[in-house]
Structure 1
Amino acid sequence: MKLKTSHILLIAVVGAVLGAAVGLWRGGSSPLLRTEAGQRALQGALSATAPAPPQDLPVARRGETVPTVRLPDLDGATVEVPGAYAGRPLLVNFWASWCGPCIEEMPELNRYAAGQNAGGKAGDGTQVVGIALDDADAVREFLARIPVDYPVLIDRAGPRDSSVQLGNPRGVLPYSVLISADGRLLKQKVGPFQSGEIDGWATERD
């Protein structure tokens, strides 16, 4: 029986997604995934093989205004994203305390966040925000051992979570997005940042 071209392409896409997922879970990141073209290809493949989000769920698309999400911080206060940080570019990083690659990239995120709030950049640099798709107590316990200097919010992983709303239909972690000062989705990244990578990623535009 001959396979149609569309079936062959689907098999290739699924294979690419599985291969990339295995690489991410092992904590590695291929050079291709560190390029914008590679990221676009991976995100396209993930979207093509993901179940459709709920019809009433607003989902961000590149170049468009992101939907508002309201989440609790570690003290239980509700924070509106991106509204609470309006006027500044925003790097949102989705993670979990059980995710090895997420933990490995946290020092890089913390370094970048500190640099964006130092000297003359205070109030103007990119604001880093972590959103943990995790149990709040587990996150508090983790951050008590390995603290970070940027805000951390809490969400529950699922088909309606904030990472899905910001363009992560398969819920792959870690996942990061760059949002402009006026609230538009500029860039997406599946997988961990390598040392020194964020600076270029956050400033380069397509």
Structure 2
Amino acid sequence: MRTGTKVVLVAVAAGTLGVVAGLLTRGPGPLLRTEPGQRIAQQVLQANAPPAPEGVAVAKRGEALSKFAVAALDGGEIVLPDDFAGRPLLVNIWASWCGPCIREMPELDRYARAQGDDGTRVLGIALDDPAAVRDFLQRVPVSYPLAIDAPGRADAGVRLGNPRGVLPYSVLVSADGRVLKQRIGPFEDGEVDDWARH
């Protein structure tokens, strides 16, 4: 074996050990904060997930989001992606009992407020009981619109590409309804701005 090949193999092995050591000492957080880490996590979740029920389309990065409806928390119906056509949309799947979801909500609210009339819109979809969500919002209000869906094998999270139901879960949809990015886990302060650039 040539010296150059040995050096490359040693470098690859050292890099792999570094990633493994980081995951063991700090958990998957640092890796999940990268786009390659998110892509890997998404592939793992989808590869090991049970199949969606017949007629339920599971969103995939780069493809058009199939149309579906959720109940608006304040009444009525929200149809994705149609009701948000013409502007990018960040959809966040959450629940009132989910600690990481609760921690990221002020960051999502800050981001939504900063977008103005022509920036990315934000929609929260709670997989939760409507009464629990309303009670929660009395303590932690947000300015962006909210919807509600019953958790299950055909819920909004599954349709947005999260068949395992990991929370929180976010999706960035383009102005023309294509899935640009999918994210497992919460946003830290200031993190959503960079993530939502497309």
TM-score range (shorter-chain normalised) is 0.7 to 0.9
Structure-2-length-normalised TM-score: 0.85
Contact 1:116 / 1:127 at 8 angstroms: preserved in 2? yes
The counterpart of 2:134, out of the listed 136, 140, 148, is: 140
Aligned match of 1:43? 42
Q: Distance in 2 between matches of 1:134 and 1:196?
A: 27
The number of residues matched between the two structures is 176
Instruction: Confirm or deny that 1:156 pairs with 2:150.
Output: yes
Map 1:186-205 to 2 at 5 A.
186-203=180-197, 205=198
Q: List alignment gaps of at least 5 residues for structure 1.
A: 1-15
Q: Distance in 1 between matches of 2:144 and 2:170?
A: 14
Aligned match of 2:179? 185
Q: Which has the larger radius of gyration?
A: 2
Percent identity reads: 60
Letter in 2 for 1:201: W
Q: List alignment gaps of at least 5 residues for structure 2.
A: 1-19
Q: Distance in 1 between matches of 2:101 and 2:40?
A: 21
Secondary structure of the residue aligned to 2:74 is coil
The offset of 1:55, in angstroms, is 2.9
Letter in 2 for 1:162: A
Structure-1-length-normalised TM-score: 0.81
Secondary structure of the residue aligned to 1:112 is helix
The offset of 1:50, in angstroms, is 1.1
Aligned match of 2:72? 73
Q: Distance in 2 between matches of 1:54 and 1:161?
A: 10
Q: Distance in 1 between matches of 2:138 and 2:58?
A: 33
Q: Which runs of 4+ in 1 moved over 6 A?
A: none
- Report the RMSD for the aligned CA atoms in angstroms: 1.8
Letter in 1 for 2:138: A
Letter in 1 for 2:131: D
